[in-house]
Structure formats: C-alpha cells, structure tokens
Structure 1
Amino acid sequence: MKIFIFLLFLCNFIFADNDLSLEKIFKKNKVKGTIVIQSLSSNKSYVFNPKRANTRLLPASTFKIPNSLIVLDNKVIKDEKEIILWDRKKRFLDVWNKNQTLKTAFKYSCVWCYQYFASKLSLDIYNDYLIKLKYGNMKTGNNLTSFWLSGDIKISSYEQIEFLKKLYTEKLPFKSKHLKLVKKIMIEEKNNKYILHAKTGWATSPKNKHGWYVGYIETSKDTWFFSTNLLISDFKRLYLRKELTLEVFKYYNII
C-alpha cells in the first residue's frame, strides 16, 4: 500500500513538473492554450493546462479527418485522386481557386470542397456517424455545410487524442482502405527521424477564436499522439500551432 501511494505521488510530481516545463514554452511564445501528447506504447502523457484540454471547442478544419472518412464511406468521392471541379468563385486563399482532389483539399483546408461534400449528404447522416464515432458532443446543429466551423459540434483535446488513436489502430467503423488513405493524406513531413501526420484548424468565431494542431508522430521507438489548441485571433500567428507542438516534442527528445 505504501509503495502504491509513493508511486502515485511520484506520478503526480512528474506530471506537475511537466506542466511547469510546458508553461515556460507557452510563455516564451506569448500564447495561451493547451497541449496533450500521449504515447501509444506506454500511455505516458504530457499535458499543459488540463482544464482547457478537457474543454469542448469547435473542431474547425480538424473535422476534415472524420469528414474525409465519411465522404469516402458514402462514395461522395472515390479516392484521393478524383478531380473536384472548381466552381470559378474567387475565395479567401489563392490555393483554393483551382480544381482540387481530396488530397489537396485536405492539405490546403479547402473549405468550399468540404462544403460541397457535405451538400451531397445530410445532417441525419452526419449525426449518425458522430454517434458511431463517439466524436465530441455528437451534435451538428442546423447548418449542413458549416456545422464544424460555426455549429453545435464541440470536441476536447483529450477526445481528439482518443479519436486519433482509433484512427491509427483502425478501430473506427470504416473500411481499412479508407482509413489507410486518410492516414496517408495526413502526412505533412517524412524524414529519417519521424513521420508527421497532422491537421490544422482555426475557429474564427468572434467570441472564441482558437487554433488547432492535431495528429500523431511515428518514430522508430514509438507513436505519439498530440492535440494542441491555442487562443489565436491573428492569422499571422497561426504558424505557432505547429511550431509550438514540435518544440514540445523536441523538448522531450521525442524527435
């Protein structure tokens, strides 16, 4: 019993130390938010700001991960190479103003592409999938083509991690080929040290602007899942989502 209490104390001490170490990284970058990273093999976790990590927020474009699986499952698009014709409407980013594929739409977070996909489905279909996936609060709201940007759907950083683990281990209710395809289009970096699978997101509601960076890093020793959520209101500071995340991984000598 004494050994158990000591180990519990030690775990809490390590957690607190990690929390303080991560706080320095956040302060250095002059940003508020949370980060959760978790090992697949040992379930070891590092967390900064657990209260915010447990707060459900709009997923914004991180919802493109489950959304890609849903549209593939419903044959809205057959694979990552099928052409999505641009409707010739000029939009926010130049990179959106051209024909796309699922791969490029995911990479460039092309809003109009995923709104087009959603228009081919229904709120009932999405709500059914959210329940099957146990995704966040499992509510879409009333707007079919923008519920992940400004609707009722909310998810916490801890829940993002759990969803990503199921994606990685292919324990989601989708065909294996679709799970593998989505994991493939999530690849942002690949080198001799690690493979980074990730998705950004930015919720721009006037009352609650925040940026996401979620995914996982595969190294030769382990796979680490991460969910970073930062309070960002300025487009010019969105780079911090990825930069801070990788800084934390380097701090713990994971990469």
Structure 2
Amino acid sequence: MKYLGLLAIWALSADIYALENEIERLYKANNVEGAILIESADGKLKYQYNVNNKESFIPASTFKIPNTLIILEEGLIKDSSEVIAWDGVEREYAPWNKDQTLKTAFKYSCVWCYQRYAKKVGDLKYHKYLKDFDYGNQLTGREITRFWLDGDLRVSVKDQISFLRKLYVENLPIQKQHIKTLKNIMLSESNSQIKIWSKTGWSGKDGWYVGYLVINNQTWFFANHIEIKQSSDLALRKKLTLEAFRILNIVQ
C-alpha cells in the first residue's frame, strides 16, 4: 500500500511538472518575462512558473483590493454607489474625467480617487493596516498618495495569493459588510459556467492580474506578474492567465 501511495504521488508530481512546462512554453512563445502561481482552495494543487518567493514587485492597482477595504473601514465612503466628485482636472485616461463611484473607481483603476482617500487615511493608519493584513513588505514611503505606484510597497506573487485567501474566507480585521462590498466590486465575470473576482495592475514595468475564480464548484486563486515592455503587453496579463487555466484543463 505504501508503494502504491508513493507511486500515486510520483504520478501526480510528473503530471504537474508536465503542465508547468506547457505554461513555461506559453510565456516564452509570447516573449514574456513573468511569473504565475495558481492554487486550489484546499491548497492541495499548486501550479507555478518562474515563481521566486524572494522577488517582489510594486503592486500598482492590485493594491486597490486592500485599499478599498481600508477606505470603507475608515468610513471615508459609505458604499459602492456613493458619488466621488470629479475635481475637474483633465487626465490622460478619459473614463477618469467624470464623477466616479467606488465601483467605477475600482473598475477603471481611478488613481485620483484613491489618492484623495489616501491623504485622509494617512501614513500611521496605513502602516497599521498593512501590518494587520500582513501585506507584502508593509512599507509605504515618503509620498502617501503614491506608495503603491512608485513608493516602497512591494508584494510577491505568493503574497498576492496569501492576501486573496484571507479575503475569500473573510479572515481580515475588517467588518464583514465591507468585505462583501469589495467582493461585489471585484466580481469581473459571471455566467452559468464561471465567476471571476479580479483586479489588474500596471506601474512602469510591473503588470498584474490577480484574483480567484469559481468553476464547477471549485475555487482557484491566481496571481500573474509580467514585465510590461510595450503597451500591447497589457492584454497579456489576463490572456496568459486564462490560457494557463486552459492548459490545466480547469477552464475550457
């Protein structure tokens, strides 16, 4: 029996290794430098490519996931539909140049919206939340309105999934109603086959697509970081993630 158990473990390991090789070929075929981690909810299955736990990156707009919770917990905005008044400043991205709600600010990665609230949260409270969340290296920097864009905050691919797991089971020092509000905002795709809760991010060379999906009553967490060399690479954040799920035969 012991021999059969070892044989089963070896077979599973060999299968995972073969699938991870296919994911590696996917990234190389698209000339992408990156790392991806996909984990089952029970933690029994883990697929990865080029993951180095010592390597961390600027979270960019993926920080809007914990940041939204902080803004809600601090009572700076009531719910996802409260209007965030546009300041009238024309910016390079047209969807930002109008009134927003927390839902649209999250969807369109509205930088000025979150910067407005960052000033109100302040450095001391951000450090406390980052510590309580055990989020990344827990650093901010000199500019409180930009620490997730080009400041000192860094997260690894593994850090992203670690936080997503806490969010999923609602094991965070945040009121449950605020976690549910965030989850409603994060739901980016929903049909009879699949549901995806996700966020993209981009700052300089750092491109992200992180979240979790539910399909066939199974939950899978994912974090994909790629190096952005040109604007056309942005579409690869999500595209490569979903292609990896197809390689694993999780998504059709």
Question: Shorter-chain TM-score category?
Answer: over 0.9
Residue in structure 2 matched with residue 34 of structure 1 by the alignment: 35
Question: Are 2:220 and 1:211 aligned?
Answer: no
Look up the match of 1:252: 248
Aligned to 2:51: 50
Off by >4 Å, runs of 4+ in structure 1: 1-12
Superposed displacement of residue 97, structure 1: 0.3
Aligned match of 1:82? 82
Structure 1 residues 153 and 42, CA, compared in 2 at 3 Å: closer, same or farther? closer
Separation of aligned partners in 2, 1:41 and 1:5: 21
Equivalent residue for 1:227, pick from 215, 223, 228: 223
- The answer (yes or no) to whether the contact 1:83–1:101 under 8 Å persists in 2 is yes
Check 1:253–1:16 CA distance in 2 against 1; reply closer, same or farther (3 A cut).
closer
Q: Is the 8 A contact 1:136 1:154 kept in 2?
A: yes
Report percent identity of matched pairs.
44
Whole-Å Cα distance in 2 between the matches of residues 214 and 131 of structure 1? 21
Contact 1:212 1:241 (8 Å CA) reproduced: yes
| Counterpart residue identity of residue 187, structure 2 | I
Aligned positions of 1:152-231 closer than 5 A:
152-204=152-204, 209-231=205-227
CA offset at residue 68 of structure 1? 0.1
Whether contact under 8 Å (1:83, 1:99) holds in the other structure is yes
**Residue number in structure 2 paired with 1:70:** 70
Indicate the RMSD between aligned Cα atoms, in angstroms.
Answer: 1.6
**Number of residue pairs the alignment of both structures matches:** 250
**C-alpha separation in 2, matches of 1:116 and 1:233:** 30
Deviation, 1:13, is 3.0
Alpha-carbon distance in 1 for matches of 2:79, 2:249: 36
Question: 2:211 aligns to what SS in structure 1?
Answer: strand
- Aligned residue for 1:239, secondary structure, equals helix
**If the length of structure 1 is used for normalisation, what is the TM-score?**
0.93
* Structure 2, gaps ≥5 residues long: none
Letter of the 2:181 partner, please give it. Answer: L
Paired residue secondary structure (1:201): strand
Shift of 1:72: 0.3
Deviations along 1:72-100, one digit per CA (max 9) or x if unpaired, are 00011111000000000011200000000
CA displacement at 1:171 relative to structure 2 = 0.5
Q: TM-score, normalised by structure 2?
A: 0.94
> What code does the residue aligned with 1:95 have?
P
Partner Cα separation in structure 1 for residue 167 and residue 54 of structure 2? 20
Distance in 2, matches of 1:220 and 1:92, equals 41
CA distance in 2, matches of 1:43, 1:147: 35
The 3-state SS of whatever aligns with 1:50 is: coil
Q: Deviations over 1:136-169 (max 9, x none)?
A: 1111112100000011111100110010011011
Aligned pair in 2 of structure 1 residues 189, 54: CA closer, same or farther (>3 Å)?
farther
